[in-house]
Structure 1
Amino acid sequence: MSLPSRVRLIDVGPRDGLQNEKQPVPAEVKIALVHRLQAAGLAEIEVTSYVSPKWVPQMADNHAVMSGIRRPAGVRHSVLTPNLKGFEAALADAPDEIVVFGAASEAFSQKNINCSIAESIERFAPVVEAALAAGMAVRGAMSCTVGCPYEGDIAPERVAYLAGLMKGIGVQRVDVADTIGVGTPRRVQAAMEAALRHYGIDEVSGHFHDTYGQALANTLAALEMGVWNFQASVAGLGGCPYAKGATGNVASEDLVFMLHGMGIETGIDLDALVDAGAWISEQLGRPTASRVGRALLARRAA
């Protein structure tokens, strides 16, 4: 078994993690979280999204957050842009990468963005074209690649179909996301294989939610295929509003602990990451959802 010697991690906590919080999270807290993640060694951070504040009020402060963060060389800051209007708003803040999103499930696409998969790609085509023309990188988030709250199991062919559409409009890399956390290792490998029909191994990343406690096992299954890009959320923040009971992403701390234990480099300081997770959890008034975070904090206290 040949595993990658290094993994690149994107922390999606500031965007994916915080967007569904019921309580308002001040812009200064979001900015401080980004800074703490950078200090811990994160070289890629998903910062915010440019969506209608009517639908996602938590992200209404996108401009304040993007203009307030320090942008050190070597750190990539990405933002979600669902349409051309969102992209044009993001343009003023000069993100390094924009993210468009689609689902491998027709039902989820309809419930989430009120259009079919094919129609969603038509919407994103001018966004991708404009971003590439502006010199920005483009990533495609592929939701529900293993299971859907409305359709159940998703066939790998649906993942290949979506990946092919994204490739066709110029999306440079894609996230294979188990949005509701129902994936198991072999099913995740099948979804990855489907995406790899259209993208190289360097252009796919794993995005695994931990609803059924399978996220680390699914990460290992992807590592065994040579995948070396992954997404996680500090303190296990987040969830999916369209999937009842779906928990957040795998906690960044838990993923880094596993990778370091396997001798895989991440460039991340685990103690500083645990501190960041504890800090944001304190701001939200609850304990960290990271098991590694809780264990290391308890060990320090002892």
Structure 2
Amino acid sequence: MSHLENVSVDDSESVDQTVTPEVEVTNSSEENSEINEGAEKSSIENQEEQQTVPSENVNIDDSGSVNQAATPEVKEGRANKGKQQSDPELEAFLVEMDKKSTPEEKLQNAIDYMQETLSQSGTPQFRHFWEVRKRCLDLFKENMPAPIRSVLWEKYSELSKEARRLKEILDEQSAFAVEQIDIAIKALEGEIVDFDNQLAKIGNVDFGFESKYLEKALGGYNTIQKQLCLLNAFASRVNTLRKELIKTEMRIRQKNKFFQRLSKAGDQVFPRRKDLIKEVSEKFEKDVTHFIKKYFSDNSVNEPLHFLREEIKSLQGIAK
């Protein structure tokens, strides 16, 4: 007879172990003890698994900032804290399983489903697995032929071991990803705070075009453009980390903390970048307007055509 593995659980969790008195239990005392112990572990594992989400839809507003308040999962999680969310797919399976006439048929159906949840591509459906596994423990308490019970229990135990092994692997991968994301966010936060020193490391901007008309003004454009280059790099890192965070599995609380940190970092980057873009656009618009008035006033051309042609090309290039 296979036995369930020991799994560490939160001591604060408790599970109702009441058994319906009308049901006659034919298990041996040792096996019955294992089933009862397994019921407690299954319920707690199911609760712990629901705290981990594979993804989270997080919106970004027009400025590029992470909009945590717009996250539907976060809103729902806060409103229904402690409540188990319904799952149409799982509920549909449980309804079909309950239509089976005997406990052994229900168990076989449940075990097959448990195997499917583990063998699917991508992340196993652990929530479905633990919920059905808990139902199996109740079914094992019902009357059925001993040989069939033994075979089904063996399959059930092997699947339970495999699920724990897979979850341990995924938890290790998730922990590593969380650590890497934390390191990346810390580095970004530090560089944003150290903005002036980071800016000093950037060389002068090569606009790729020479304009005699803007020659004296290029210093001002260079100052603004250097800041924009640095802010653009920060903005790109915020968005990249946000995407990485969305697809990384971790506990909701930890994920929310990361989103809040990214939102705070974005608040220091996106509004400032927006203001600088507006500033440089208005500055360039004024310079172009002055250029037109200076060289094309009163429907006359005040400079050689080849000079004006080159200046216009330069202004167009710089504008890009």
* Structure-2-length-normalised TM-score: 0.21
| Structure (1/2) with the larger helix percentage | 2
User: Whose radius of gyration is greater, 1 or 2?
Assistant: 2
| Structure (1/2) with the larger strand percentage | 1
Which structure carries more relative contact order (alpha carbon 8 Å, separation 6+)? Answer: 2
